[in-house]
Structure 1
């Protein structure tokens, strides 16, 4: 397997949990590519977002053995597999770790958590009552994702500047100080919106879904030819680093690729 590649989609920020890196598949002859290890694509539309992930990975379609996705990146992994199948005729297995469909409700929950970091309550970050709910409506998320992200960014920037203004800094200084903080959280929300906007393509491949002991989603993965769900007696943070998880992934890749 020394020449086989894997694309691992694992958002590097805002998660106190394990990483796909903890599977240590490199020690078993795989060339694992982590395309968002340094930077997540800025595009909230699933098509351009996943195209950017494939390009950033530098992977060669004829050398790929599979796609991996952690948490809400599960649909992004599926979208990558679908794009590779459509563009290159490569049908790849997908490995998911504690994944779940990325609903509008889950995006809204994460958005509220972000604004709470900035000291804004559930009704406070955007102008007008109920605006956050309307902004994160499933139809708006799909039809106007760039508008959603721009609106959230403006609201976050305004909130951070209001907080920093208490120290008496000038507006230009406030914007310069606030931008890196805001950009960090905008990248996370863009990742989630792109995951929400995936099309769940039926690409012809199988899914292995590793789930921790308390993970609630254990249904067949939408769009997969077949789903193998394997429960591991570990918490969410420890799951990827277990020997059971690693051995299960390696066996699945051997079964589905014949190597």
Structure 2
């Protein structure tokens, strides 16, 4: 995934944008996703299935659906980082807010993060033009990430005739079944989440899911 990221608030539309941007027209036998992006990866796999008439395998690395708390936690972490203060007062959108009015919620988050970052940088007595440039860059990338999480949260998990393989660290509590999928298989790897992508067993698990031919 490269910038600019899709400015879509639901997994179906977000996945469609990613597929269109990829320009890939070849048969796809395997979709690999990571962590909370796996809700969007699921939708990518489902849309690929509709396009080509056969289902790829979805390998979700420490994957799980994205709960509302994960969105709010990422928002809180960004706000505390920008303000350098654990006591910042933040918006408290509800799960229904994220689903029913995600654009408004993200716009409000962007305004608050912009205000927090600008106030923090002004305390360093930097030039105003530099402050504005730094704030715009910091907030833009953060809101891109929050939009990604909101889209992952707003996944409908329509039925799909494909299979999900959860390759999970010992830190991942989610063990399926993956909502909407035909089947879910778990490959548990005895390592931390930070170590997961470096494990030979993970690479073997992905290779085992590769189709022999498409």
Residue in 1 that maps onto 2:206: 249
Residues of 1 paired with 2:127 and 2:114: CA distance?
Answer: 15
Residue in 1 that maps onto 2:47: 83
Residues of 2 paired with 1:122 and 1:190: CA distance?
Answer: 24
Residue in 2 that maps onto 1:215: 172
Residues of 1 paired with 2:87 and 2:126: CA distance?
Answer: 27
Q: Using the TM superposition, give the Cα deviation of residue 258 of structure 1 relative to its aligned residue in structure 2, in angstroms.
A: 5.7
Provide the TM-score with structure 2 as the length reference. Answer: 0.90
Q: Using the TM superposition, give the Cα deviation of residue 238 of structure 1 relative to its aligned residue in structure 2, in angstroms.
A: 1.9
> What do residues 210-259 of structure 1 show as CA deviations (whole Å, max 9, x unaligned)?
011232111211111111100112221222222211111211223xx666
> What do residues 77-100 of structure 1 show as CA deviations (whole Å, max 9, x unaligned)?
001112223344332210000012
**Equivalent residue for 1:66, pick from 30, 34, 41:** 30
Change (3 A) 1:122 1:101: farther
Provide the TM-score with structure 1 as the length reference. Answer: 0.75
Q: Using the TM superposition, give the Cα deviation of residue 123 of structure 1 relative to its aligned residue in structure 2, in angstroms.
A: 5.1
Q: Using the TM superposition, give the Cα deviation of residue 170 of structure 1 relative to its aligned residue in structure 2, in angstroms.
A: 6.1
Residue in 2 that maps onto 1:111: 75
Change (3 A) 1:78 1:237: same
Change (3 A) 1:215 1:145: same
> What do residues 50-86 of structure 1 show as CA deviations (whole Å, max 9, x unaligned)?
11111222222x4211211100011100011122233
Which consecutive residues of structure 1, in runs of 5 or more, have no partner in the other structure?
A: 1-35, 126-131
Work out the number of aligned pairs and report it. 213
